[in-house]
Chain A
């Protein structure tokens, strides 16, 4: 009764294939591998047309024909039986491909179904199948293959069968873990909630996401099968009636090619194996890259040095801790339009001040915070502007000079503390590291006491100091991060969405902690969040960002009670207010712009209820309102002045 969705049009398949090819083409290695395999396929299919001599023709072979070096007649010389190496090589491709494909087919069927059954059904099925797989995985393949083939007749059929029957273990593991991963995704639960049967779920939801992995795995299994066949042949367990590349090597090695100096008889078949295995490996890498695009970038790659067009070398204001002037940050990707992640943002922060940085995901707020510490990923670059910290221009410092300021002057608490703490080092150890790095004169024997004291400050008991992060709850990890941020008595803490994904009560605990610390230690805090409620509860002033630019910047009361920018106004209307439970929420239509495809005029114009013509063509400048340091970037503000 339940079948696959019948509306899979040929169009869909075609467009999927096209998309696949487009992304596959980008991986150079994959395309090279594909061409290498195509060459071998042509050799195998058209062998009778390509090979100058018949398969293993021993007619008219005399003793003088044995191990003849390459010549015009025999491009790759002759072998121990006086046969043409090139012809045998061409026919050998057929054997390798046959063994590879059929053995891999058997392995994939077994491994695929074991993995699928174990992953999908779980329970006893999973336990018994995976235990069996683990046992088979540990037992060394080749010796077992050798034993079985040695005890049976070494025919090509037997060889394929044995290689296939023993080569499924990794496939079973890979397919099982992919099945488990797919099964745990919410769309499977949704399908169950709809009432879909198990076969329906497997066919429509699990298989489409497991098949690609199986294809990649298949490419790998083929190459292993080809290697295994050649090894067996070389050991002397090949099918004597067919001449595979391994068999050619076996004969040449066993029958004096070395002593006769007949390098061609050894080199040519070996290169054939290398060619096909390398081709398959590259192809597999290319396919893998399509499935799991990896950017191959990481945090220790050299960062781009800031550009600075401004001649300004001095901070404008006195007595500020932080002063950010006209900061612009772009992301530069190969062959991509630069993304203008942050454009012309300025603000100041005084001692003990708490500033809220509000914006939706993708508005550039995290980029801005990383830039303050010069921690941008390698594609990011400060293209304009200055960051002054206590009068020092951070954009002109070297990495070593920055390392002195990081954590001692400015520390940062990241979102999602699960990943922000190293899982294999204890929490206490990671705090100790910060103390030792920045206070080398601090007496070593007092460090544990200091770490304990820091943890107690955030409500973590001394006995939990030497626990690993995974032994902490989410809230505790976040508090441990705060303790770590306090380790070197910094002047500023940047808190980047520190309470997102935490429960309301835990969130309240952490906010109270930050607020108390600020009062007790005179810390300045930059609090990055998308939650307007938290900002209203906590902050002194607020910077509202939209699409990488400052929308509005003012003290907290002005932002909430006298906002000038339409984005701020709309955002407040969309935010639920418990004190007005009857009020209907309004949403802002549309969604934020992509930073690499910005609208021509004001970045908020496409969603703005008050937008007029000019907004779509001209970017508004930052206008100050009154003399209270209230800034908004909106044409309406200019008009009303």
Chain B
């Protein structure tokens, strides 16, 4: 199987109905949460999906996990179309794609012990009675950095620190030996001093277990050192995608440029001019005409209002959707 087509997403869309604009209006408004997203993921690759709230990154995560049904587009995993599987067909697939959530305080059931939490995926997938069940649980916990596992097994989530809880979530994902981990803002609720430990853990897993990671975040800074590629999202679309260095050192889309310029640099000697965009990300109900970024774009030209820019290929790995790049 080609490593190129490990996970392939094409033209993915999700529109939610948002009620009627007025009491007797006929047309139903739509939230264009995800509006045509495409990218591919290689085996054991780390891709970062970066964007502000309202850019559709969390909806995209739910679509990839099969927790929401896409309006259009396809998702292929190892060549197989998995866009519209039912729960039964999806079950085997769920073992291969696991998710880690933003808030480790919220993503653990307070009434379960750590052992129950990490064992649960095995029970759900019918491995409750396999002889090596306990070994698998112990291995997953220790791989997630909960060493020795016995110490943690009979504890409850509230007895652990934030970083440890996030490790429990990761252990519960590892126990099924997944091939992809989808991490939705996994460190934004953690203290600075322990963020690195979770990020380092994910970075290690790709090496030790060949797991690919889709890392969703609003903070470009936090993914800098371990993502292979970065995709920047704005209002339901990917506006720029490239290798980490291409995007960070040579951003082409005005939105990416602005986003990178406002990331605080922890060195007062490197204070620099920031590109601060006015206003806020527009409501995804009324997507602006033409290029959806034009109302806030500092370098917009007249034609941006009318035509929706296509993805422009800048290098083999680097693409960006901006009319200024169209020659």
Give the B-binding residues of A (Cβ under 8 A). 1-3, 5-8, 12, 185-187, 189-197, 200, 204-205, 208-209, 360-361, 473, 475, 503-509, 512, 530-537, 539, 556-557, 560-561, 570-572, 574-579, 581-589, 591-592
Contact = CB atoms under 8 A, between A and B. Distances in A.
B192 A574 contact: yes
B300 interface: no
Nearest to A570: B193
Contact of A504 (B106, B219, B268): B219
Interface residues of B, number: 77
Interface in B74-126: 87, 90-91, 94-95, 98-99, 101-103, 106-113, 115-116, 119-121, 123-126
B94 to A, nearest CB: 4
Contacts of A575: 192, 266
Given A6-B128, A360-B193, A587-B194, A503 B53 contact: yes
A208 B268 contact: no
Contacts of A506: 52, 280
B302 interface: no
B67 A193 contact: yes
B115 A360 contact: no
Contacts of A508: 262, 274, 276
B259 interface: yes
B24 to A, nearest CB: 21
Q: Which of A7, A185, A200, A539 counts the most B-chain CB atoms under 10 A from its CB?
A: A7
A193 B266 contact: no
B314 interface: no
A533 B264 contact: yes
Interface in B182-226: 191-197, 199-200, 218-222, 224-225
Given A190-B169, A195-B90, A509 B276 contact: yes
B266 A533 contact: yes
Contacts of B266: 532-533, 535-536, 560, 572, 575, 577
A576 B222 contact: yes
B290 to A, nearest CB: 21
A583 B197 CA distance: 14
Contacts of A560: 266-269
A42 B296 CA distance: 75
Contacts of B103: 186
Contacts of B245: 581
Given A197-B87, A578-B221, A591-B163, A6 B196 contact: no
Contact of A200 (B111, B112, B124, B218): B124
Contact of A587 (B119, B196, B280): B196
B65 interface: yes
Contact of B224 (A12, A361, A473, A578): A578
B287 interface: no
Nearest to A473: B280
A6 B194 CA distance: 34
Nearest to A573: B196
A6 to B, nearest CB: 6
A508 B272 CA distance: 13
Contacts of A1: 126
A114 B109 CA distance: 23
B263 A578 contact: yes
Given A5-B119, A576-B222, A588 B52 contact: no
A194 B120 contact: yes
Given A194-B172, A537-B271, A581-B248, 20 more contacts: A5-B112, A5-B119, A190-B172, A195-B90, A195-B95, A208-B109, A208-B111, A209-B111, A504-B220, A505-B262, A531-B192, A533-B221, A535-B266, A537-B265, A556-B268, A560-B267, A577-B221, A579-B270, A581-B244, A585-B225
Contact of A503 (B191, B200, B218): B218
A585 B204 CA distance: 13
B260 interface: yes
Given A185-B106, A195-B91, A530 B225 contact: no
